[in-house]
A and B are shown apart, each in its own frame.
Chain A
């Protein structure tokens, strides 16, 4: 019996409650820590995933040959609260969010932000925009990657 008609409470219940509270005290902070860890992990995974997806699209356009086009849509945010920006140059696709950076390497080395007048440049991709990645061969038979806002 938990509580009898005289208002007494069993020592078993007191002991059980005490131990339960003790364990819950630590468990609550541990659970909170786990949730924070999961959120931080999601940020890293989303950033890596974004960099690899863009790099994959660029490689796909490059390997597709002259005239190959690939469209990409940039997510508005990383993990619902981080704005970010992406830079594409001959080294790779660099994703920057908060104070963190990650890079995904790519095959092509020549990038241009204009289609008619090919000119080496570092290209910034902004959140929420749609871009088209085009493979264009110049008069020297070299393939360029042109990235235009759609």
Chain B
């Protein structure tokens, strides 16, 4: 920009090019950042689910059910998360969002399949709940937070795999 208030053509081209690059980068960063935060929320939720399983302090209905059917689950159990993976993102026209299925691998001792299923369901519930809370999308889904929505993604959870 010179002292007469004129702008060079090179500067205008440079600015235009920068603007285009910025827009493309911004969209890409936004999408990647969203996925990163969703996965962070999923990890946070999984830890919370594991803690709920480990402490064996449940809502009263669940507690009464477990006391009758699965008394082993009313005692603290040693559950830990091994890893969390997700399927390749795929656009889903029903939800008009990219769908991702999360899969959680957990380890726990002395549990039979039914007990593992119940503890795994709780972990998955907290994972979906955490995602919905981070993106403030509780009103878009059902009481089980299934599926969990973010702005551009929809998350479901596969059954927890016990290793």
Which residues of A come within 8 Å of B, CB atoms?
6, 11, 15, 18-19, 22-23, 26-27, 29-30, 33-34, 36-37, 40-41, 44-45, 47-48, 95-96, 99-103, 105
Contact = CB atoms under 8 A, between A and B. Distances in A.
A100 B67 CA distance: 14
Contacts, number: 82
Given A37-B47, A37-B130, A103-B74, 7 more contacts: A33-B44, A37-B45, A37-B48, A45-B55, A103-B56, A103-B67, A105-B75
B114 interface: no
Contact of A37 (B44, B58, B59): B44
Given A18-B26, A22-B26, A105-B75, A100 B44 contact: no
B51 A101 contact: no
Contacts of B26: 18-19, 22
B115 interface: no
Interface of B: 1, 15, 18, 22, 26, 29-30, 33-34, 37, 40-41, 44-45, 47-48, 51-52, 55-60, 63, 67, 74-76, 130, 133-136
A30 B44 contact: yes
A44 B51 contact: yes
A7 to B, nearest CB: 12
Contacts of A6: 1
User: Interface SS of chain B: helix, strand, loop or mixed?
Assistant: helix
Contacts of B136: 29
B57 A100 contact: yes
Contacts of A47: 55, 57
A22 B74 contact: no
Contact of B63 (A29, A36, A40, A101): A101
Contacts of B59: 99-101
Nearest to B38: A26
Nearest to A91: B67
A30 B58 contact: no
A29 B40 CA distance: 11
Contacts of B47: 37
A48 B33 contact: no
Contacts of B29: 19, 22
A48 B37 contact: no
Contacts of A45: 51, 55
